[in-house]
Chain A
Amino acid sequence: MEFVLIRLDEVDSTNNYAMARIQHGGLPEGTVIQALQQHAGRGQRNKGWISEPRANLLVSIILKPAVISHQPPFLLSMAVAAGLREAVARICQQDFYIKWTNDLYWNDRKAGGILIENTWKGQYWQYAVVGIGLNVNQKQFPPELPNPVSLTQITGKEYELQDVLQEVYDQIMKRYRDLQGGKTQELVQEYHQWLYRKDREAWYESDGQRFRGIIREVQPDGHLIMDTAEGRKSWAFGQLEFVLDQPATPLS
């Protein structure tokens, strides 16, 4: 798929840039903002994203999701996560997984993240800015990051960022179009097929308490459904931590 690309040597964050640009209008849907370096890349609120210059894919895709305003916005998060996962799985010929809500995982390590910002006027979903950070050619990470990994660390190969971008773009836009076309079920199914730790018993933490649980499902509104010793629980994002120093075990 072809797209309009705005490439920047350096920017605070591609999402900030995109959010500022859409105020002025004029950019077609699907426009990509790419930065070779970000000095204030953003993860979730308060959390930064650290990248070696020119090593990683740092992009934001501008969407106009008006047609799906009546759908749960979280479905877009599912579509983007599933698209990014499929793209890197093809590039690396490896299994990647989606860690709830939308992190990209290889084994128990994080290879990429997604940050989506929307603008709403009343009930009308004007824009979605889909920010993606994918560790591609970075060879070393700061020690304070708990579990980073890059594509080059996984396969030993170096990748052309523009080739990676094309594959990522194609896979995400395909699922976005599917969502617009009403193919929600296939998308939800794909998300669950690759959901990290689904149906495996593992350790989690909430409010300082550690406990074992089995992820069963993510609802279309984003809630995580988990079986625990105290029964079935539903979590919103931010309420639950994945304990990463203890591996998950398959159910016997």
Chain B
Amino acid sequence: MDFKQIQELIKLVSKSNICEISIEEENFKITIKQKDHPSEGAPLVQPAYPMVPTMAAVPPSPLPMPATPAPQPAAQPAAPASAKEENYITIKSPMIGTFYRSPSPDKPPFVNVGDEIKPGQVVCIIEAMKLFNEIESEVSGRIVKVLVEDASPVEFDQPLFLVEPV
């Protein structure tokens, strides 16, 4: 890890609600703590996690995750927005690419409308420049709507699925 990366990391931590992050690589270890965080000084019990550039410190393990994104209203309020609909969560594309609903053309879709999903479950593949990206859900819920046609192009942050929290 070079100086610039450490700088970036400090910036990210200070912008986030992470109180402490610790990273360990070969011959290298760094711990960054937030000054005014109440848990400062508490002993660090977790193993070193890889750096997370966004908000949450997520260990690369199959442990169940808390649902991090705040529930947001549906992207296209075409129908009259009922109180229920406003509670829907969208799963968005993390990149530009081509959206695929199944692992290969001869296989069934990862998820269908009505299916219950849980954090860590694969919901689709986005293919970008021959990189195949399995997108996992961060949330628990039931698929209400698939917003994109199979094998069609998607933009960064484009809503892919509408999920009703359960």
Binding site for B on A (CB under 8 A): 19, 23-25, 44-46, 64, 66-67, 69-70, 73-74, 76-77, 101-102, 115-124, 126-127, 180-182, 221-223, 236-237
Number of residues of chain B lying within 8 A (CB) of chain A:
38
Q: Is the CB of A123 within 8 A of B50?
A: no
Q: Is the CB of B136 within 8 A of A116?
A: no
Binding site for A on B (CB under 8 A): 1-2, 4-5, 8, 50-54, 56, 58, 60-62, 65, 68-69, 94-96, 100, 104-105, 119-120, 122, 127-136, 138
B161 to chain A, nearest CB (A): 13
Choose among B2, B105, B134 the residue that contacts A120 (Cβ–Cβ < 8 A).
B134
Give how many A-B residue pairs fall within 8 Å (CB-CB): 107
Q: Is the CB of A120 within 8 A of B135?
A: yes
In the complex, what distance in Å separates the CA atom of A127 from the CA atom of B122? Answer: 13
Mostly, the B contact residues are: loop
Task: Give 8 new A-B contacts, CB below 8 A, not counting A24-B62, A120-B94.
Answer: A46-B105, A66-B52, A73-B95, A117-B132, A120-B135, A120-B136, A126-B58, A127-B60
In the complex, what distance in Å separates the CA atom of A125 from the CA atom of B60? Answer: 9
In the complex, what distance in Å separates the CA atom of A127 from the CA atom of B31? Answer: 23
Interface centre among A115, A121, A237 (most CB of B within 10 A): A121
A56 to chain B, nearest CB (A): 20
Choose among A24, A64, A102, A180 the residue that contacts B60 (Cβ–Cβ < 8 A).
A64
Known: A74-B131, A118-B131, A122-B68. A67 touches B51 (CB 8 A): yes
Across-interface contacts of A182 in B (CB, < 8 A): 2, 4-5
Known: A64-B50, A64-B60, A221-B129. A119 touches B134 (CB 8 A): yes
